[in-house]
């Protein structure tokens, strides 16, 4: 191939690559993105009603109202025999309603080691416990998120508030037939997700 022809062919290839559209790049000036598209961001599957807001609701909510302070956080020990804190303590007042944070079934409502306890089973092999709680429900009852399951009692050891709700959560036994304790706060969406409004260039 003559040198002049080779140079012409190489120039054509370089120009084609330079002008080709780049995936994810903004559209050329004077053009509009496809309907519903957000430049620079993928539209979430659960985005709907209001502009820029994710409308999917969380499956779980706080078991006390108003939103309580966290008096003691989750501290899962590395080994079962080590001390730790397999749940969170939420500050409250004696007699406050304790609410189901999510839909489930009451699997226990009674006394354990002299403390009143309520336990719920949720989808996905999750079980949550609440103490000290004077039960207002019976085992086998179905509850929905926000429905009362009992009232908070005083006397939780180490509580800096007039009363504390110990809220625990665990998954079904998996390894060595032992339950997996999880942080209940991880079940909550602590703040609504919002998409930032677009600013015109």
For the chain, give the percent of residues with pLDDT over 90. 44
| Whole-number pLDDT of residue 77 | 67
- What pLDDT is attached to residue 78? 63
Segment 116-123 shows an average pLDDT of 96
Give the pLDDT confidence of 1-22 residue by residue, as tens digits: 555 555 555 555 444 444 444 4
Render pLDDT for 41-84 as a digit per residue (tens, 0 to 9).
333 333 333 333 333 445 899 999 999 999 888 777 665 655 55
Domain boundaries, the chain: 70-187
Q: Who has greater pLDDT, 188 or 23?
A: 188
Residue 97, Cβ neighbours under 10 Å: how many? 16
pTM for the predicted model, two decimal places: 0.63
Sign of the alpha-carbon torsion through 174, 179, 185, 187: positive
Q: Considering the chain, what is the average pLDDT of its residues?
A: 73
**Residue 32 vs residues 35, 36, 44, 120, 184: alpha-carbon distances, Å:** 8, 11, 20, 51, 45
The CATH number of the domain covering residues in 70-187: 2.70.70.10
pLDDT of residue 159: 85
Q: Which whole-number Å values give the CA distances from 54 to 3, 15, 50, 133, 191, in the listed order?
A: 59, 42, 8, 34, 11
> E strands within the chain?
70-72, 88-92, 97-99, 104-112, 115-122, 126-131, 133-135, 142-143, 148-152, 163-171, 180-182
Task: Return the pLDDT at 175.
Answer: 54
Quick one: pLDDT band at residue 140, thresholds 50, 70, 90? very high
């Amino acid at each position: 191939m003559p040198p002049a022809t080779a140079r012409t062919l190489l120039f054509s290839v370089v120009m084609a690559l330079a002008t080709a559209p780049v995936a994810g790049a903004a559209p050329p000036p004077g053009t509009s993105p496809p309907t519903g598209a957000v430049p620079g961001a993928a539209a979430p599957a659960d985005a709907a009603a209001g502009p820029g807001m994710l409308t999917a609701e969380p499956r779980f909510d706080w078991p006390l109202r108003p939103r309580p302070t966290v008096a003691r956080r989750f501290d899962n020990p590395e080994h079962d025999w080590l001390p730790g804190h397999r749940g969170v303590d939420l500050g409250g007042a004696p007699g406050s309603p304790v609410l189901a944070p999510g839909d489930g079934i009451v699997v226990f409502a009674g006394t354990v080691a002299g403390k009143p306890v309520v336990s719920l089973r949720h989808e996905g092999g999750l079980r949550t416990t609440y103490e000290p709680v004077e039960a207002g429900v019976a085992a086998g009852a179905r509850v929905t998120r926000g429905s009362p399951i009992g009232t908070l009692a005083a006397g939780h050891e180490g509580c800096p508030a007039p009363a504390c709700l110990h809220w625990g959560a665990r998954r079904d036994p998996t390894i060595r037939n032992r339950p997996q304790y999880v942080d209940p706060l991880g079940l909550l969406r602590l703040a609504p997700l919002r998409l930032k409004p677009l600013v015109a260039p």
